[in-house]
Structure 1
Amino acid sequence: MPDPVPPDPTTSRGSHAMTTTSNGTPAIEFRDVVKRFGDNVVLDKLNFSVAKGDRVTLIGPSGSGKTTILRLLMTLEEANGGLILIDGDPYTHEYKGDRWVEIPEKRRRVVRNRVGMVFQQFNLFPNMSVLENIIEAPVHVLGLSKKDAVERAEQLLEQVGMSDKRDARCTQLSGGQQQRVAIARALAMDPEILLLDEVTSALDPEIVADVLGVLREIARTTDITMLLVTHEMQFAREVSNRVLMFDHGQIVEEADPETMFTNPSHERTQEFLKAVLG
């Protein structure tokens, strides 16, 4: 059960000061968010925000809390305290007075539908064709007509270079092809925010470039907000507006990509990048 202690809306506490945004309400906002697994505190009063349209990459060693942030945003995990807001709306819980109360399911779904995610493992339905995988949620969750959903799916398949695999079973595809279908499936829900969790980690090195190319094009041609966890430092450098270095559930450094990768100021960041970049 989450801690019944509301965050302080007027001060910045915990691991990092709130990032102010120049274009109004942040797309994503964490206020004093706590996440524990048993006695292990993964996030300790974490504060950060992502502005609308920003591309923010989280870097850091395994176990530092990066993927936990994405899982909280996908409601695959529940915070033990603090607030998570999407476009200013409480996501799963809110405080009424000094009480922590759960958001009604109908209201939660409305906010949840603004967020899409592409996972390390593709999580496609193996018994469905490529097209069926992409139209399933738009038809049954968003209520689109099948005709409209198919039209949108075909546009997305063209965008990710998979038009010729429209009717193939996902089990017939390579890993890189499946990941491109997974990206199209996430975009088919027309999310305002796209979460990317190590989307190339399960792929053979020779096909990583194809998937990263698709994501670069999405970043270049859309205004979708992106929050990425990746060990592909060159990709992070090319796509991101901001890079956050995590260690032990805290942001130890924040900078633009050029500064982060050429002149990091924190010793922990320097150590990590030296190990990752050689």
Structure 2
Amino acid sequence: MAVTRRGYIFSAFLSSVLCVLLIVVALSSDSWVVSLATTNVQVSDSELRYGLFRGELILRNLATPNINTLYMTCISNVNACALSCKTDADARIAEVEALAAGFRPSPACLSITDVDDTDPLEKPPVISYAFYVSVITILCAQLFVAVTAAGLAILNATKNPTEPIFGLPGCLWTNVATACLGCIVMLMFGIYWLTSGLNEHLALAYIALGTYEAGPGLGYSYWLLIVSILCAVGNIALIQIRAYLLERDPPPPMIKVENHSDGTIFLY
């Protein structure tokens, strides 16, 4: 009987499921950027963290911390995204518009935004809207190909024989695409973090206006992408190892009918 070594394919399926879960967590969680926010007039260091959609700002000016939700607010016509803790949508838009224009909005987490245009900022403390949309688009593409890789893996782990075209070759190349897209996102965000000034102003008025001094870093949401890339690379290795072992295995014995003249019936 031919050895199929389907355990390798099933292991690739389990790894693909883990890869999908990691990408979903990275996309939806709120810890791409984490930072302390320090000033002399607070009980202890304040904290902030945010992801691609929301975040949280914990101000510790008093003994009881003041917890505020941060909203990623984007305005396409000014090519700007920034974080705002304003409780009203119009106030958040007004705050981001002010930051994009280099003006100083009131950072307090209220329902209104007052803007001071007499002392403009040297550089608008915002995130590029095009960059932001590109990161989310590539992450969604990575998630799609990772789901496809998982589907092809379980299809080939349960079907006999394995699919010739959309099966293992497709599973192999979707994992290659998953790893490549993950690397692209990490490089894009990492380079942007280092070169755009985002690591200094954090696209947040409290930090950009100098109200608090930041101690920023990249959070676990970003670093989870490394694990998802390793899962995809591991799947590639499993599929290639399986192919190598199948090629190394000796072929099944061949029965030569011409050597049997006694009328024996052979079943194939």
**TM-score, normalization by structure 2:** 0.26
**Hey, which of these two has a bigger chunk of helix by percent?**
2
**TM-score, normalization by structure 1:** 0.25
